[in-house]
Amino acid sequence: MTLTFGIGPLAGKSPGAFNFDVSSAPKHRIYFHDYPRRLRAVIGDRVVLDTTGAKLLHETGALPVPYVPLADFDGELLERSDHTTHCPFKGDASYWHVRAGDAVVENAVWAYEDPLAEAEWLDGFGALYWNKASAWFVEEEYVFGSLRDPFHRVDVLESSRPVTVRVDGRVVAQCDQPKLLFETGLPGRAYVPRSDVVPGVLGDSEKRAVCPYKGQSRYLSVAGVDDAAWTYDAPLPEAIRVEGHVCFDDERVEVELGPPRAQLPVSG
Strand order in the sheet with 135-138: 46-51, 39-43, 135-138, 141-142
CB atoms within 10 A of CB 80: 10
Query: Cα–Cα distance between 100 and 103 in angstroms, integer?
Result: 5
- Please give the pLDDT value at position 10: 79
Please name the amino acid found at residue 216.
Answer: Q
Query: Cα–Cα distance between 239 and 182 in angstroms, integer?
Result: 10
Please name the amino acid found at residue 124.
Answer: G
- Please give the pLDDT value at position 131: 95
Which residues are paired to 127 by β-bridges?
110
- Please give the pLDDT value at position 86: 97
Query: Cα–Cα distance between 194 and 218 in angstroms, integer?
Result: 14
CB atoms within 10 A of CB 120: 12
The torsion angle over the Cα atoms of residues 14, 19, 20 and 23, rounded to 10 degrees, is: 30
Structure confidence by residue, pLDDT tens digits, 52-111: 999 999 998 888 999 999 999 999 999 999 999 999 999 999 999 999 988 899 999 999
Q: Which residues of the chain have pLDDT under 70?
A: 1, 13-15, 263-268
Roughly how many angstroms between the first and final C-alpha of the chain, as a whole number? 33
- Please give the pLDDT value at position 61: 87
Q: Which domains does the chain have, with CATH numbers?
A: 22-142 (2.170.150.40), 154-257 (2.170.150.40)
- Please give the pLDDT value at position 267: 58
